[in-house]
Structure 1
Amino acid sequence: MIIIGIAGGSGAGKTTVARSIADRFGTESVNYLSQDWYYKDFSNLTLTERAELNLDHPNSFDTELLLSHLNQLRQGLSVEAPVYDFKIHSRTEETRAMTPRMVVVLEGILVLAIEEIRPILDIKIFVDADADIRLIRRLERDIKERGSTYDATVKRYLGTVKPMHEAFVEPSKRFADIIVPHGGENKIAVDMLVELVEHYLFEI
């Protein structure tokens, strides 16, 4: 089994790249995991307090649980991945059943920034995109999919997303084996990644 880590700024197109790889090989061969699923459980806080959390800092993730699940999958064991609901800023009681596959695709803004995660990754990818493109995508996603408002999204972007990107996400680019420019719509880069994964699988 190989584990592919896909990092990059919020709205860069990480999910598009991850899903493209998963779609090429099929669900019977690929497990898709999002680092977002592994935000710590903040259900002990009020909704107002949870809405003010800095979710772009490495400490906001339950990295220990994520690593435990990755190691179990690599050992051929099934796991129950958590489900995080951005509308209530908390984990739900639901879980996602994940059974072992030949490929695990893990995507998230801080996949390469957290030191403990990098050693378990066989291929490290950073998806790059211009800041204005990332901001527009973030606005569209948070308003349409996560129940946020324009003012709240802009406040969050300026207060935590942008400074955390500069402090943690952008510097993590140096740990990447491959940098994908122009975001998730770079079909040529995705095709090359698929060929690389096929090469790895052939060697296993």
Structure 2
Amino acid sequence: MYEYRKLSPEEKAEVVRQRLAKGYPPHSPPHPIKDASHYLITAACYEHKHRITTPQRRQQLLNQLFETFIQENITILAWVVLTNHYHLLTKTVDFRWLSKQLRLIHGRTAHQWNKEDGLTGKMWYSYSDRAIRSEKHYYTTLNYIHYNPVKHHLVSSPYDWQESSIDWYLQEKGRNWLRACWLEYPVKDYGQEWDN
């Protein structure tokens, strides 16, 4: 998105032409796989501005995600909410429900937080999804989600970030399971191209 702004009008037109030729929307993330059962969902604040800076906002967002998703029979398997984006590992039956619910949640939170902050305008930059294609992809994604607060220099240990599913996994699976999962499915450069 940010590289696009640096392009000439001709280069921008060519990028849009190529996206449309692939069947993608001109300016938002494509959602090409709609029949997989597990997804990594990533949503970022517009221009990666830090708008989810308080624990209360992060918890409010998590509460809305869980309440809404439970009603729609969408399971959140892992999560992390940072100060300017969040990641969810979900299991869903109907992708259209997921898309609709995220738009509703983003609309509600944007309206409320803009009002609280005395701001107007866009708060969220849509969302992206990645279909989970294998067991290795699933567990590497799980580790990536839990390590994300460390990657973004918010804490030195994933166990120190409250708005994450790592504590749930620690209670349900134990530290040895988490350690074995980390060793068997290392993150390495996962997310390097799309989560910087």
- With normalisation by structure 1, the TM-score equals 0.30
For CA contacts below 8 A with separation 6 or more, give which structure has more relative contact order: 1
TM-score normalised by L of structure 2: 0.30
Structure with more of its chain in strand, by fraction? 1
Give 1 or 2 for the bigger CA radius of gyration.
2
